[in-house]
Amino acid sequence: MTRVLVVDDEEHIRLLYSEELKDEGFEVETAKDARDAAKKIEEFKPNVITLDIRMPGTDGIEFLRKFREKDKVTPVILCTAYSDYKQDFRVWASEAYVVKSSDLTPLKEAIREVLAKSGAK
């Protein structure tokens, strides 16, 4: 089963994404911040990571930079409520950029696309 790690500081977003992605047949784990995510990555070994940008402490862009130093393979999808980050070259280390919405179709499509490109199932 494909494992998805959802990293977001908002509990209701983690719950929504988790439930929706489980309904799509994914195994889902959640993390509330960058520190929690680093621990969960080691334990859960996700096939794809959804990552919020604005989080307390280490933000998603800084976490992505550090993560890419160690892992250049695992796909990361940035999920944010702010479309203006799309022009920031630092987000280019991610495989996809999705603006948060109540409609999770774009996120689900992005997950399927990056998994298809990476060869993960």
pLDDT band at 95 (very low <50, low <70, confident <90, very high): confident
Domains of the chain, earliest start first: 3-96 (3.40.50.2300)
Token pair listed for 58: 């280490």
pLDDT tens per residue across span 12-55: 999 999 999 999 999 999 999 999 999 999 999 999 999 998 89
Give the integer Cα–Cα distance in Å for 3 and 21: 10
Model pTM score: 0.90
pLDDT band at 81 (very low <50, low <70, confident <90, very high): confident
**Nearest of 22, 2, 11 to residue 104 by alpha carbon:** 22
Q: Which residues contact 88 (CB under 8 A, 6 or more apart)?
A: 61
Pick from 90, 98, 83: nearest CA to 21: 98
Amino acid of residue 16: L
